[in-house]
Amino acid sequence: MSPSQIITGISENKVTYQKYFDVSPDLLFEVWSDPKHLKEWWGPDGFTLSVISFDFRKGGFFEFIMHGPDGQDYKNKIQFLNIVIPRLITYQHVGDGEGDEDVNFQSDIVFEKSGNGTNLTMIQIFSSKHELERVNEKYGAIEGGKQHIGNLQKYLEKM
């Protein structure tokens, strides 16, 4: 995997993003699992993040607001389903936390040691191909996923 490249694959209801990072799995996992880091890079280009709550354990919730470049706020809530330090974070995006489940998908974030760095794989699984297409059309989810990983890279370069 090329260090600068984000490989993206789409298959039915699943989007897979892969990228090599020139940092250890421990550091990459920490940057993905600590709100002090998350607020510095989380989200697509132009977005900022306010953390409401962060309970990083199986069954715990991460509630946050993404502030869009258009001035709009987007409430989000995810529930952690599985955590294997420093190899895996699985979570379910459950909408905005106030009953609106407009976007509901599962993400698997896999950290795999590769030489002196880490191969990161982010897999987003939607309920159907139609649902993936709907969310992509409404929110630009696939491009947003690429930008999300790109912003992680930019943050790591500044550290």
- Give DSSP secondary structure letters for 126-152: ES-HHHHHHHHHHH-HHHHHHHHHHHH
CB contact at 8 A, 122 and 145 = yes
Residue 100 pLDDT exceeds 90: no
Residue 103 pLDDT exceeds 90: no
Q: What is the mean pLDDT of residues 101-130?
A: 94
Q: What is the dihedral of CA 149, 54, 94, 29, to 10 degrees?
A: 30
pLDDT computed for residue 98 by the predictor: 62
pLDDT computed for residue 144 by the predictor: 95
Residue 101 pLDDT exceeds 80: no
* pTM of this structure: 0.93
In the structure, what pLDDT confidence band is assigned to residue 29 with cuts at 50, 70 and 90?
very high
pLDDT computed for residue 102 by the predictor: 75
pLDDT computed for residue 2 by the predictor: 56
Q: Considering only the top CATH level, what class is 7-157?
A: alpha beta
Residue 131 pLDDT exceeds 60: yes
The rounded distance, in Å, linking the Cα atoms of 80 and 97 is: 14
Report the candidate in 3, 30, 40 with the shortest Cα–Cα distance to residue 89: 30
**141, two tokens:** 């989810």
The rounded distance, in Å, linking the Cα atoms of 135 and 141 is: 6
pLDDT computed for residue 97 by the predictor: 59
DSSP string, 81-113: EEEETTTEEEEEEETTSSS--SSEEEEEEEEEE
Task: Work out the mean pLDDT of the chain and round it to a whole number.
Answer: 94
Residues whose CB falls within 8 Å of the CB of residue 157, separated by 6 or more in sequence, listed in order: none
Residue 9 pLDDT exceeds 70: yes
In the structure, what pLDDT confidence band is assigned to residue 95 with cuts at 50, 70 and 90?
confident
